[in-house]
Amino acid sequence: MPAFHRTTADIIRSAEETLKTAEQGLEDIIKGPPERKLSGLRNLIVFGRAITNILQNLRSIEPDFDAWYERYRKEITQRMWLRAFGTPPQFPFEELQIRSER
């Protein structure tokens, strides 16, 4: 069903269902048998990212969505990394800058 026919409740429900799938992927990584760890990682990444895409469907029906979403966007990303992997990755931007100048 296209986003413009969905209600806010429909979109939130879809995001919650997708979150459960991402959480199952995390569970497979942590407690699953070895053969499920790779698929668990893939599910965590794909469905974790899908949650943000689903929530952005609210933009078309909730006028204050962008202001609300910006407050949580960074927090959501950081929490996902912290929960799944510990410390968020530190990308060596300074090193990249030096290499690009060469």
> 101: burial class by Cβ within 10 Å (0-12, 13-18, 19+)?
exposed
Q: Which domain holds residue 81?
A: 3-101
Lowest mean pLDDT among 10-14, 53-57, 80-84: 80-84
Q: What is the pLDDT of residues 61-77, one digit of tens each?
A: 888 888 888 877 777 76
Report the number of distinct structural domains present in the chain.
Answer: 1
- Rounded to two decimals, the pTM is 0.66
Q: What is the predicted pLDDT for the residue at 79? A: 72
Among 75, 14, 79, smallest CA distance to 47 is for 14
- Residue 102 — pLDDT band, cuts 50, 70, 90? very low
